[in-house]
Amino acid sequence: MPIAELSAEEYEKVQALEARTDKIKGWRDELAATVQNYRKYLKIKGPLSDFLKSISEKTADLKSIIDEDRMDADLFEQGLSGEDLLLAKSAMLRRIRHGLVDAASLFEELSESKGYWTHGETDQEAGQLRNYYKMRLQETVSAKKDIKAIKNDLESLHKQYDWFLKQSGMRNRQDKESMDEIKAEINEKIQQYNNLLQENPEAYYLEKTKELKQLKDTFDQGGTIVETPYVKEKMEDIQELLDLGRPVFIHGELGTGKTELARYISRKLAEPFLKRWEAGNPSPDKRDKEAYAAWQSRREEAAKPFLVSGHRAMEADEMLGRRAIKPGDKKSPEEQLRIMSGNWPALELEVVKNAEARGADVKEALKEAKAMYRSAMLKSFENPISTEYVLGPVIEAMKQGKPVIIDEINAIPHHVLIVLNDMLTRKPGDIYTPPFPGQEPFEIPEGFAVFATGNYKPEDGKVYVGRQKIDAAFLSRFGIVHYDYLPMSVQEEAEGATPEDSRKYHEENQLLQMLVARELKPDLTLEAPPGAVADLRRLAICARIIQDVFSGNATGYYTRVGGQDVEAEAIKALNENVLSIRHLMPIIDAWFKSGFEHDLDDYIFKFYIQRSTAQDKEMLFLYQLLQKVGSFFPVDQGWPSADNAVDIKGFNLRKHWKEIESGAKAQTAEEVRMHSREEVVRELFGPPNPRKYINPFVLREKQKEEGMDEMARMELERQAAALENLGKESVEIFEQTMTV
């Protein structure tokens, strides 16, 4: 039934039910996360609900339900023993005890017989709440099926379109008509998908949760690049160039993550190489954990791209290869005699010729030369050496079929770069012969690619200290991709924004998405103070402003600090302390790892502002912006004013902390809580559209069914039965959530 057809009273009730079921879903997330954190060490017999019930009713002996043997084994594997193991175990038992108490409390609130479902409600209202929650579960299940069906159809259509693209020869009219038809069907499916996300909040949460998981997985796999829309766009640009067999030059400002992007793409390109590597290095049995872990480590190391770090004193042999001296093979007495006898005749003729030319005694000259020759040869046999050419990273990458990254390419002298001209045109399948004596030609395997990075803007000629302009002829061999700082709105969201406007605003906040994704729990919840995401948003806004000022793209941001003249001075002052991702990560990691012991402001000052103590103007401008634009460093909490450079430079953070501990200074501490997946989605991507349809049974009472026609009555009964069945299914869904 369309929600628009509800009465004003019913609409108000729906909004209240939506908010309350949001809270219940958040509690379920928190309960699932709490149990999952400790489930490994719990002796759970029977249904999980019975286990939690026994804890909430205090009928379970907590010590008897904890698997201490498994805990001991895990701690021992971590290298702990004796007193260290006992201390760690004591701390873990304490943590689990508190976690189980929290889980039991949450379970009690979620119980249908008491707690949040019935607190302060009539039986009728409690029933409506349960039914509304079941309806949302039902919509989640339906949305999963609908999304899967649409994506399966899209995958099939794309494969059909790719089939036409791969056909050789000219395309006829029927081919073109078929491809146009497929395009139209693809667009129709995409529209169907978008409509589903706009009309069904549960579908929106499902898809945005998948996006969150993709962001989180990147960090869990050891990466430092998150596939935000901007990053995906740049990756597609780079892949198009690689598909054409071209090397790629990724350029941009300091700290944008150019080299990390090249590494990230290189890992994706390593699959063909890894297949070849695994053929020669088969995986051991996974049950042999130590051997398998060692194999995985070797595999990961082998998959890394070759890296050339450019510098002004570089010569070509660092990239291509050089002659190297190596220990030689020991020779047997017979081989030694053969070598000495074989080499002597030519030397003998040279000695005779020189002796005759000098008028010397030939016999004496031969006797002396033979003794010296014999002594030298015997010494060489004692410590044999050999020389051979060792391939450099560029040619070795070609030979192995792996990517090579030439970092800071515009720091390399031009006379060195030009030796790469021929190699930059090579691609997998080509036959290449290294330019050294005795080297055999080889076919370049699949997986070879060339990346170059540099703090350079070819379009405006900006050059960093120690860098140079790149020759146009050399640069023309590359496909060029500009990689900027991650997009981030420099304005706060407008109050009262519609859901659609809010989503558009959040689309741009990709820097914030990356920063938060790094700190999410495995279940995609966030454990942080209530205002943590808002604090990170303010920091991300300031970071983007500083990045724009540093790169010369500022357009009046500093007018909020003190006018256009201040901005001009700031551009001159910001030499290298741009607030890039590499500076943001230590700040945020320290804040989270400390358990939010201090405000975010403290970590910004410690890990960023204090980097500029040697540059007074830079430090002043950064502090001014963070205080006046970001609302960090509040004066009423003991921080110096942005107008006093002397106080800023002399500010003692440790003294500040001691004064807070003693009560001499105020600092508002916020309690850490669990932010549900839905909350995180709304904070990072914006809210879904309001629900458009509702199952009327969740609001109707049986006595109001009088006067309905038979078809309407049967439909209501069918919907009621569906909700009742789903009530049983929800228990199973809950159990599955616990085991994810």
**pLDDT digits 0-9 by tens, 324-362:** 766 777 788 888 888 888 888 888 898 888 888 888 888
pTM of the model: 0.78
pLDDT band, residue 665 (cuts 50/70/90): low
557, 616: one domain: yes
**134: its two tokens:** 């079941």
Which pLDDT does position 737 carry in this prediction?
41
Backbone angles phi, psi at 389, to 5 degrees: -85, 130
Residue written as tokens 């047997």? Answer: 332
**CA distances, 684 to each of 71, 231, 487 (Å):** 37, 17, 13
Question: Mean pLDDT throughout 140-144?
Answer: 90
pLDDT band, residue 735 (cuts 50/70/90): very low
Which pLDDT does position 461 carry in this prediction?
47
Q: Taking 60 as the threshold, does the pLDDT of residue 658 lie above it?
A: yes
**pLDDT digits 0-9 by tens, 431-466:** 999 988 878 999 999 999 999 999 865 544 454 555
Which pLDDT does position 560 carry in this prediction?
52
Of 154-168, 406-420, 484-498, 653-667, the range with the lowest mean pLDDT is: 653-667
Question: Mean pLDDT throughout 711-715?
Answer: 49
Domain-terminating residue out of 670, 705, 722:
670
For residues 462 and 655, give the distance between their C-alpha atoms in angstroms, rounded to a whole number.
43
Residue 209's identity, in one-letter code, is T
To the nearest whole number, what is the mean pLDDT of the chain?
83
Compare 383 and 573 and report the one with higher pLDDT: 383
**pLDDT digits 0-9 by tens, 382-430:** 877 766 778 899 999 999 999 999 999 988 998 899 989 889 989 999 9
Structural domain contains residue 646: yes
Structural domain contains residue 513: no
Which pLDDT does position 226 carry in this prediction?
79
572, 436: one domain: no
Q: 102 in the Ramachandran plot: left (φ > 0), alpha (ψ -120 to 50) or beta?
A: alpha
Q: Report yes or no: 51 and 734 within 8 Å, Cβ to Cβ.
A: no
Q: Cα 700–703–708 angle (5° rounding)?
A: 80
Structural domain contains residue 492: no
Domain-terminating residue out of 670, 694, 714:
670
Q: Report yes or no: 403 and 448 within 8 Å, Cβ to Cβ.
A: yes
Q: Report yes or no: 633 and 626 within 8 Å, Cβ to Cβ.
A: yes
**pLDDT digits 0-9 by tens, 144-158:** 999 999 999 999 999
SS (H, E, C) 476-517: CCCEEEECCCCCCCCCCCCCCCCHHHHHHHHHCCHHHHHHHH
178 C-beta neighbours (distance < 10 Å), count = 16
Spatial CB neighbours of 478, under 8 Å, sequence gap ≥ 6? 246, 247, 248, 249, 424, 452
Structural domain contains residue 652: yes
562, 661: one domain: yes
For residues 52 and 50, give the distance between their C-alpha atoms in angstroms, rounded to a whole number.
6
Instruction: Give the residue numbers spanning the domain of 351.
Output: 330-383
Structural domain contains residue 422: yes
For residues 477 and 248, give the distance between their C-alpha atoms in angstroms, rounded to a whole number.
9
Which residue, among 433, 432, 316, 326, has the nearest Cα to 388 in the 3D structure?
A: 326
Q: Taking 60 as the threshold, does the pLDDT of residue 732 lie above it?
A: no
Question: How remote is the C-alpha of 524 from its chain's centroid?
Answer: 14
Which pLDDT does position 460 carry in this prediction?
47
**433: its two tokens:** 């012969």
**pLDDT digits 0-9 by tens, 87-131:** 998 988 888 888 888 887 777 777 654 555 555 556 677 778 888
SS (H, E, C) 321-378: EEEEEEECCCCCHHHHHHHHHHHHHHHHHHHHHHHHHHCCCHHHHHHHHHHHHHHHHH
Which pLDDT does position 702 carry in this prediction?
45
For residues 661 and 582, give the distance between their C-alpha atoms in angstroms, rounded to a whole number.
31
397, 309: one domain: yes
665, 576: one domain: yes
For residues 502 and 726, give the distance between their C-alpha atoms in angstroms, rounded to a whole number.
33
Residue 202's identity, in one-letter code, is E
Compare 568 and 84 and report the one with higher pLDDT: 84
Residue 217's identity, in one-letter code, is D
Burial group, residue 487, by CB count within 10 angstroms (0-12, 13-18, 19+):
middle
Q: Report yes or no: 647 and 661 within 8 Å, Cβ to Cβ.
A: no
Backbone angles phi, psi at 531, to 5 degrees: -95, 15
Backbone angles phi, psi at 239, to 5 degrees: -65, -35
Which pLDDT does position 362 carry in this prediction?
87
353 C-beta neighbours (distance < 10 Å), count = 11
528: enclosing H helix or E strand:
strand 526-528
Domain containing residue 433: CATH number: 3.40.50.300
Structural domain contains residue 369: yes
| Element counts in the chain: helices (H) and strands (E) | 29, 13
230 forms bridges with which residues in the sheet? none
655, 537: one domain: yes
334, 318: one domain: no
Which pLDDT does position 523 carry in this prediction?
84
Q: How many domains does the chain have?
A: 3
Which pLDDT does position 306 carry in this prediction?
95
Top mean pLDDT of 331-345, 372-386, 629-643, 696-710 is at: 629-643
Question: Mean pLDDT throughout 239-257?
Answer: 91
Q: What share of the chain is helix, strand, coil (3-state, %, to 5)?
A: 65, 5, 30
Counting residues of the chain whose pLDDT is more than 90, the rounded percentage is: 35
76: enclosing H helix or E strand:
helix 68-77
423 C-beta neighbours (distance < 10 Å), count = 20
Question: Mean pLDDT throughout 309-338?
Answer: 83
371, 428: one domain: no
DSSP calls for 445-476: PTT-EEEEEESEETTTTEE-TT--PPPHHHHT
Q: Taking 60 as the threshold, does the pLDDT of residue 738 lie above it?
A: no
**81: its two tokens:** 């023993």
Which pLDDT does position 221 carry in this prediction?
66
Domain-terminating residue out of 422, 447, 482:
482
pLDDT band, residue 731 (cuts 50/70/90): very low
Structural domain contains residue 549: yes
Structural domain contains residue 605: yes
Query: Is the CA virtual torsion 31, 34, 37, 43 positive or negative?
Result: negative
For residues 579 and 538, give the distance between their C-alpha atoms in angstroms, rounded to a whole number.
13
Spatial CB neighbours of 287, under 8 Å, sequence gap ≥ 6? none
Which pLDDT does position 705 carry in this prediction?
41
Cα torsion through 423, 426, 427, 433, rounded to 10: -80
Spatial CB neighbours of 187, under 8 Å, sequence gap ≥ 6? none
Which pLDDT does position 646 carry in this prediction?
80
426, 547: one domain: no
Q: Report yes or no: 650 and 605 within 8 Å, Cβ to Cβ.
A: no
Q: Taking 90 as the threshold, does the pLDDT of residue 707 lie above it?
A: no
Which pLDDT does position 706 carry in this prediction?
42
**pLDDT digits 0-9 by tens, 39-66:** 888 887 777 777 777 776 766 677 778 8
Backbone angles phi, psi at 333, to 5 degrees: -55, -40
537, 651: one domain: yes
For residues 294 and 297, give the distance between their C-alpha atoms in angstroms, rounded to a whole number.
5
472, 596: one domain: no
533 C-beta neighbours (distance < 10 Å), count = 21
Which pLDDT does position 464 carry in this prediction?
57
Compare 516 and 457 and report the one with higher pLDDT: 516
Burial group, residue 332, by CB count within 10 angstroms (0-12, 13-18, 19+):
exposed
593, 650: one domain: yes
Which pLDDT does position 513 carry in this prediction?
94
